[in-house]
Chains A and B, each alone.
Chain A
């Protein structure tokens, strides 16, 4: 195992975050604050509480998931797309690195960035609402698992994309709608029965639900189902990426 190589990629990617510190850290702080103003204050004044939890507190897990998902995808996809775009990917391919090692470096860095941002959002949320985490370790577990899984998914998008438009296509057209419709800002119990059933087809619902359970012990679906869903997605991403690297798809051809 080329651990020095993995560390080099990881630090190289983390250094990109340092160079764009303002954009990386300040923007989630500002967007979280805006969500609280719009959803927490404006809508929260009409929906006082959901399942015994104040609306402001209720939306915190969903907001964190929204940011974690989008940040993990965009960081990892950009991480591998950028060397492809600048043609510097040759040195990754020419180095004695296995595909797993390359993935570990890029995905590890993207997931770390997401975790840092997730922590910032939790701290920011603490300024607006009285935050209470019932199961902090399970919350951390979900946070890490989601960051890694969606960083892997983002990595896959970065390999597939051959222009900036494609890089944004899946996050904007698929991920963001799924997050917004996945119960981030409401409980699916508030929906008509038909739409509740439709919502169960949305994989993000299981993530948000499981994550919310770790905060308040309330969930739209069982915690075990949430866990199985995210693990299934994680292994699917690992398998597809391994296959992609083995075949050299969009990289070595």
Chain B
């Protein structure tokens, strides 16, 4: 799969000396849905705004479909659509005029058939003559999506698209996103909701303190998500893991009193019954048994915590 967006060693320091991006490198594949996760102030919106030309950056290079976003900004920006986080719209314009205005800004001649189709897909057709101030928050969000898609971009940035929207709209929005992906549009979204990333993304990136700390296929993450940890606390300490238990790939803690077994909950055979039966045969007495779920959220939080610790040490 070819890379449609390449971000190489990009840094951004704001006037108040806050370093929003720190030598950040990231590549996005054509046609994928990429979810960018990160806590507040991690640099998600800064990154999006820089790629879209809304903010300047200090160092590094960014290319969109091999077009440099500074030197070949016309070609690069023509390929991008952005849905901002805030519901920023002019109050007194109609939906129809405002969406057509956005298309015009990108140098595209008016195409009533396409805009009509777009508004219908986003359930906005009935509201096309309404003034923007008359719309609900959810409808405004749809208008922002229509505006971002009005010039038929190849890459769509969605900055916290489901922030403060109801469940129905969220579902509708993901349907639109899936449809766009089918049509070959690359989608990059930032979100706080990890379930969303799990549901819709092909790949997930985690950003913290202006750095990308993890990029992985969603499948790999789900695999980790599907794993559970079985902790077996023993009455007496043992010197080492008995050879009869080698096949279970157990880990023994430093205190030598707890065995850890990682198993796949989605597998046909978890191996728990055999493990416990072997332990019983070896005459090892158990004090307690507990299980832990490794969620994407816990992976995310651990990674963020680790990156912050590294930063403190550095």
Interface residues in chain A, defined as those with a beta carbon under 8 Å from any beta carbon in chain B: 2-5, 7-9, 11-12, 15, 19, 82, 86-88, 90-97, 248, 252-253
Chain B nearest CB from A43 CB (Å) reads: 41
Q: How many whole Å from B67's CB to the nearest CB in chain A?
A: 10
B274 interface residue (CB < 8 Å to A) = no
Whole-angstrom distance from the CB of B107 to the nearest CB of chain A?
A: 4
Q: Would you give 12 A-B contacts (Cβ < 8 Å), ordered by A? A: A8-B104, A88-B88, A88-B89, A88-B90, A90-B54, A90-B82, A91-B102, A93-B54, A94-B77, A96-B77, A248-B55, A248-B56
> A2's contact among B54, B80, B84, B107, by CB below 8 Å, is which?
B107
The answer on a CB contact under 8 Å between A9 and B105 is: yes
Given contacts A15-B97, A88-B89, A96-B74, contact A8 B105 (CB under 8 A): yes
**B88–A253 touching, CB < 8 Å:** no
A203 to B1, CA, bound (A): 63
Within 8 A of A (CB), among B70-110: 73-78, 80, 82, 84, 86, 88-93, 97, 101-109
Which residue in A2, A7, A92, A253 is a CB contact (below 8 Å) of B15?
A253
Per-residue A-contact encoding for B61-73, CB less than 8 Å = 1, 0 else: 0000000000001
Interface of A, helix, strand, loop or mixed by DSSP: helix
Binding site for A on B (CB under 8 A): 14-15, 49, 52-56, 73-78, 80, 82, 84, 86, 88-93, 97, 101-109, 147
A2 to B80, CA, bound (A): 16
A-B residue pair count with CB separations less than 8 angstroms: 74
Cβ contact within 8 Å between B105 and A97: yes
| Chain B residues closer than 8 Å to A87, beta-carbon distance | 84, 86, 88
Given the interface contacts A7-B104, A91-B105, A252-B56, does A96 sit within 8 Å of B78 by beta carbon? yes
A253 with B53: CB separation less than 8 A: no
Q: Is the CB of B106 within 8 A of A5?
A: yes
A177 to chain B, nearest CB (A): 33
Given A248-B56, A253-B15, check contact A95 B106 (CB 8 Å): yes
Residue pair B86, A94 in contact (C-beta under 8 Å): no
B147 and A91 within 8 A (CB): yes
Min C-beta distance of A242 to chain B, whole Å: 16
Interchain CB contact under 8 A, B80 and A94: yes
Q: List chain B residues, Cβ under 8 A from A88.
A: 88-90
Of chain A, the residue at the smallest CB distance from B102 is: A91
- How far, in angstroms, from A87 to B54 measured CA to CA in the complex? 11
Check if B77 sits within 8 Å of A95, measured CB to CB: yes
In the complex, what residue of chain B is closest to A10 when comparing beta carbons? B104
Q: Kindly state the separation between the CA atoms of A91 and B153 in the bound complex, as whole angstroms.
A: 14
State the majority secondary structure of interface residues on B.
Answer: loop
A11 to B104, CA, bound (A): 10
Chain B nearest CB from A99 CB (Å) reads 11
Partner of A96, one of B49, B88, B107: B107
Q: Nearest chain B CB to A10's CB is how many angstroms away?
A: 10
Which residues of the other chain, A, contact B88 by a CB distance below 8 angstroms? 86-88, 90
Alpha-carbon distance between A93 and B55 when the two chains are bound, in angstroms: 8
Chain A residues near B93 (CB, 8 Å)? 15
A97 to B105, CA, bound (A): 7
CA distance A162 to B38 in the complex (A): 30
Looking at A8, A82, A87, A95, the one whose CB has the most chain B CB atoms below 10 A away is A95
Report Cα–Cα, A5/B82, bound state, in Å. Answer: 17
- Report the Cα distance A90→B15, complex, angstroms: 19
Q: How far is the CA of A4 from the CA of B109 in the complex (A)?
A: 7
Of A7, A82, A93, A253, chain B has the most CB atoms within 10 Å of the CB of A93
Expressed in whole angstroms, the minimum distance between the Cβ of A137 and any Cβ of chain B is 34
- Knowing A5-B105, A8-B105, say if A86 contacts B54 (CB, 8 Å): no
CB distance from A253 to the nearest CB of B (A): 6
Identify the 8 closest CB pairs spanning chains A and B, nearest first. Answer: A8-B104, A95-B105, A87-B88, A96-B74, A96-B77, A2-B107, A94-B52, A4-B107
CB distance from A227 to the nearest CB of B (A): 36
Q: Residue of A at shortest CB range from B91?
A: A86
When the two chains form their complex, are residues A19 and B92 in contact, meaning their CB atoms are under 8 A apart? yes
A253→B84 contact, CB < 8 A: no
Q: How far is the CA of A142 from the CA of B267 in the complex (A)?
A: 83
Residue in contact with B101 in the complex, picked from A8, A82, A96, CB distance below 8 Å? A8
Contact A90 B77 (CB under 8 A): no
B283 to chain A, nearest CB (A): 70
CB contacts (< 8 Å) of A86 on chain B: these are: 88-91
B14 contacts A253, C-beta separation under 8 Å: yes
Residue of A nearest to B80 (CB): A94
Known A-B contacts: A5-B106, A96-B106, A253-B56. Give 16 more (CB < 8 A): A2-B107, A8-B101, A8-B103, A19-B92, A86-B90, A87-B84, A87-B86, A88-B88, A90-B82, A90-B88, A93-B53, A94-B77, A94-B80, A95-B106, A96-B77, A253-B14
A253 and B76 CA atoms in complex are apart in Å by 20
Docked pose: A87 CA to B82 CA in angstroms? 14
Q: Determine the distance from Cα of A4 to Cα of B76 in the docked complex, in whole angstroms.
A: 18
**Which residues in B have their C-beta under 8 angstroms from that of A2?**
74, 107
B20 to chain A, nearest CB (A): 12
- A92 partner residues in chain B, CB cutoff 8 A: 105
